[in-house]
A and B are shown apart, each in its own frame.
Chain A
């Protein structure tokens, strides 16, 4: 029984998720439900902050180490920020309480995913964190485009999940156990490579890495921007944590694994950045830029070092906060780039917050994205991936091209005759302010985070 207490944060989140399904009966209705969800997520993070870590639980199926703690806190806090924002806004006119429940379910799944050290737990947690995401993406029930995007996402994601499951079954067959501690693909020959490749297909698709990224732009462009804000960030953090753990287990034995990851990295960086350049819908633009950022992450993953793994987890958090915030602004102002025109005059504080987030995504110091890229690229060079790193760095200059297009709209775009007036909302503004704070503090105050991820430069 002792072990269950370590899952208290997940239990809090899960409990409130179930309560949120009955939001009609809660005080404050939808708004109260969202605030309650935010409070529960924050409480989960606070518990984690003070609770610390434990020995592996349930016979090693779940590990509650420092890395897991960091990722669980990040997932919980980002969910809290999203729910706080939601409490002041709505989901394109749809009622909110199901969105609150879905986000909390997904968040609980993500927190477990960060701790999984067993193939079964991995698969279950992965499904728990993505299943609510399908519904969130199709949240606008009457919108045909949204449903099409959601269906595409659902079908492709299920297909790749099954491919991954197929690969996992091979891994189980080859090593005779589902526990990470017992898995080794060393000296398994072609079958090991095939198993690793099948697993990677699944994970690439979930992470929207090229060449399995095609669902992302369509799904994002069909969905409500508020849904995209959640789905493109929170599950990505926990997913990346799972990828890191899994790769650390199966990569050492398979010689061609690095080539697979490296090819995915290069393809994602180039395709994502170049495809983002001409986009005029902010959701599509962020979808492609998400592919590019996954490419950078895979690059450090390819290095196969402790620094690389730590850098990946650091960067995914540094990426998630600003990109969630940008999608939230898109949800407030409208999905098209031109909807942002004149934002600087309408809402100057938001405009400057956008500048901070965009600069962070480009990798301009002193924001989090810069330090994230510093560690990523440092790890990649350390791992001997010199030309790939040069390519990554050149590609991040290309990314400045499209991020600046967004900035250009904000400051110099042609203001429409009657621009949309966004209502003031204290909770939404607070949520966005927290995103700015995270974007600044994660970079400058990187030291404790690097400690938690137990990575340091030589």
Chain B
């Protein structure tokens, strides 16, 4: 069995096995899911180790004819951009399963859905055939819909359907783009590598429109202002594991789409003033707007959700820059944000499990009541605001650097840089209100994190430190792939 296929479909086998477990044994599904998740994580680690970091081009490729009449292949491969994201996806899946240990409502269904979600997430990062990519892309919608709709908060029905329709609306435009590329004489294939190679020969006018179609598809997923309104609803209503995977992986699918599809396949449109400005300005607005709205939140989970909008703005800024530093930074932020936001959502979820409230005013003084939880939350907040030495810093630094080097107006970069300041402000204010101070009556009654919970967050804490102190370990993977892509685009 080939490695990438195995990584994608181990969770599918897990999902099928889980679905067939007897309903009465509510303790079994989580163990089965964890087992399959750990196998998948181990395989991803094998992939990371065996990946040849210096080599250019796709590795571990697999290619089979699927529907030859329509030119559709089963084509997989990874490069330095997708490998870290794939590994992150398998890791967060395991942590999400662990974080759901106490779920008691319809466990068979729950863990089946988590694993189906993992199939889609893994698949998106390794698919190199456009139809296959789209299949995995849409595959994540259904389990996430059910995760929110069945195990979500009070407004779960509204939030889940809004999530589904918004993202479906975006992705159908992507489908138009895929078909248009395929049917254009200079495109003529669903092979994403081939399309990237042929990208430059497409007429600029055509590229411009298709870029727009893909932009709608990806921008909703990221989400960029003004396409972000589904995100706070989905996050607030989703169960903890859903939030972790949504923020940690699914948002990255959108930005990954920009890096894997929009830039290399439509290089002239990507370099055009209109689209760089559109993305640059919307990125800056997302950064500042997300931060400003995060300020005003009284709900801890909503605050983290809006901070995601802000951080994803940095990814988009790096993508708009079109420079090596900018795109390196974008990928680093994608990974770092996945880790840090995953950590934050896990901690918020753990606090919520005890207090049953997410109101900032109700959960104040964590450090005096539950020092471990409080300390970790403060750590995550400080990592999120981009303190040097932690994972939040290098990516945002690189995106700002890249944007400064590019043709984007200095004003956009300066406004975005102010976003870092805002992030420091709202995060520290949150720390002051939630972590420090006297324990509120609710917090005084709760117990601190148990061993299982500490084990869940420990890998993310370690990665936050590791990437923060030694970010060249991550760039070693990313940089050659980004340089190869930009060379292919003729940008460097």
Contact = CB atoms under 8 A, between A and B. Distances in A.
Contacts of A370: 135, 138
B182 A378 contact: yes
A457 B134 CA distance: 18
B276 to A, nearest CB: 25
B70 A365 contact: no
B218 to A, nearest CB: 16
Interface string B328-341: 00000000000000
Given A377-B176, A378-B183, A447 B161 contact: no
Given A359-B142, A381-B180, A393-B175, A401 B69 contact: no
B182 A457 contact: yes
Interface stretch (A135-143, A238-246, A448-456): A448-456
A394 B70 contact: no
B172 interface: yes
Contacts of B180: 381
Interface in A365-390: 365-366, 370-371, 374-375, 377-378, 381-382, 389-390
Nearest to B165: A400
Interface string B45-69: 0000000000000000000001111
B230 to A, nearest CB: 13
Contacts of A458: 183, 188
Given A374-B131, A381-B180, A446 B67 contact: yes
A310 to B, nearest CB: 9
Given A374-B131, A377-B176, A447 B165 contact: no
B371 to A, nearest CB: 40
Interface in B62-95: 66-71
Interface stretch (A277-285, A404-412, A420-428, A433-441): A404-412
Interface string B105-136: 00000000000000000000000000100110
Given A366-B139, A400-B165, A400-B168, A446 B70 contact: yes
A129 B139 CA distance: 39
A447 B179 contact: no
Interface string B174-198: 0110011011000010000000000
Given A411-B150, A412-B149, A447-B68, A378 B168 contact: no
B429 interface: no
A54 interface: no
A404 B164 contact: yes
Given A397-B169, A400-B164, A457 B139 contact: no
B391 interface: no
Contacts of A377: 175-176, 179
Task: Tell which of B157, B161, B172 has the most Cβ of chain A within 10 Å.
Answer: B172
Interface string A113-143: 0000000000000000000000000000000
Contacts of B131: 374
Contacts of B176: 377, 381, 389-390, 393
Contact of B138 (A365, A397, A456): A365
B275 interface: no
A107 interface: no
A408 B182 CA distance: 36
A240 to B, nearest CB: 20
A457 B168 contact: no
Task: Tell which of A364, A365, A371, A377 has the most Cβ of chain B within 10 Å.
Answer: A365
A67 to B, nearest CB: 14
A397 B165 contact: yes
B157 A412 contact: yes
A268 interface: no
A406 B142 CA distance: 15
A457 B71 contact: yes
Interface string A149-165: 00000000000000000
Nearest to B66: A447
B159 interface: no
B9 interface: no
Contacts of B420: none
B95 to A, nearest CB: 27
A450 B175 contact: no
B134 A381 contact: no
A451 B69 CA distance: 7
A402 to B, nearest CB: 11
Contact of B70 (A359, A366, A450): A450
B172 A393 contact: yes
A165 to B, nearest CB: 37
B54 to A, nearest CB: 36
A397 B138 CA distance: 13
A396 interface: yes
Task: Tell which of B164, B173, B179, B188 has the most Cβ of chain A within 10 Å.
Answer: B179
Interface string A75-105: 0000000000000000000000000000000
Contacts of B139: 365-366
Nearest to B157: A412
A312 to B, nearest CB: 15
A397 B175 CA distance: 12
B120 to A, nearest CB: 10
Contact of A364 (B68, B142, B173): B142
B141 interface: yes
A362 B142 CA distance: 12
Contacts of B142: 355, 359, 364
B72 to A, nearest CB: 8
A330 to B, nearest CB: 22
Contacts of B69: 446-447, 450-451, 455-457
Contacts of B175: 374, 377, 393
B490 to A, nearest CB: 28
A447 B172 contact: no
Contacts of B71: 457
Given A374-B179, A377-B176, A381-B180, A397 B168 contact: yes
Nearest to B136: A365
A456 B182 CA distance: 13
Given A378-B183, A389-B176, A400-B164, A365 B134 contact: yes
A408 B183 contact: no
A364 B70 contact: no
A458 B181 CA distance: 12
Interface in B133-158: 134-135, 138-139, 141-142, 149-150, 157
Contacts of A401: 165
Nearest to A310: B69
A340 B173 CA distance: 32
A366 B169 CA distance: 18
Contacts of A412: 149, 157
B436 to A, nearest CB: 41
Contacts of A456: 68-70
A24 B298 CA distance: 73
Contacts of A365: 134-135, 138-139
A210 B172 CA distance: 24
4 nearest CB pairs, A to B: A456-B69, A450-B69, A365-B135, A393-B172
Given A381-B176, A397-B165, 9 more contacts: A364-B141, A364-B142, A375-B70, A393-B175, A394-B169, A400-B165, A400-B168, A457-B71, A457-B182
19 contacts: A362-B168, A364-B168, A366-B139, A370-B138, A371-B67, A375-B70, A377-B176, A378-B179, A378-B182, A381-B176, A393-B173, A393-B176, A400-B164, A404-B165, A408-B161, A412-B157, A450-B69, A455-B69, A457-B183
Interface of A: 355, 359, 362, 364-366, 370-371, 374-375, 377-378, 381-382, 389-390, 393-394, 396-397, 400-401, 404, 408, 411-412, 446-447, 450-451, 455-458
Interface of B: 66-71, 131, 134-135, 138-139, 141-142, 149-150, 157, 161, 164-165, 168-169, 172-173, 175-176, 179-180, 182-183, 188
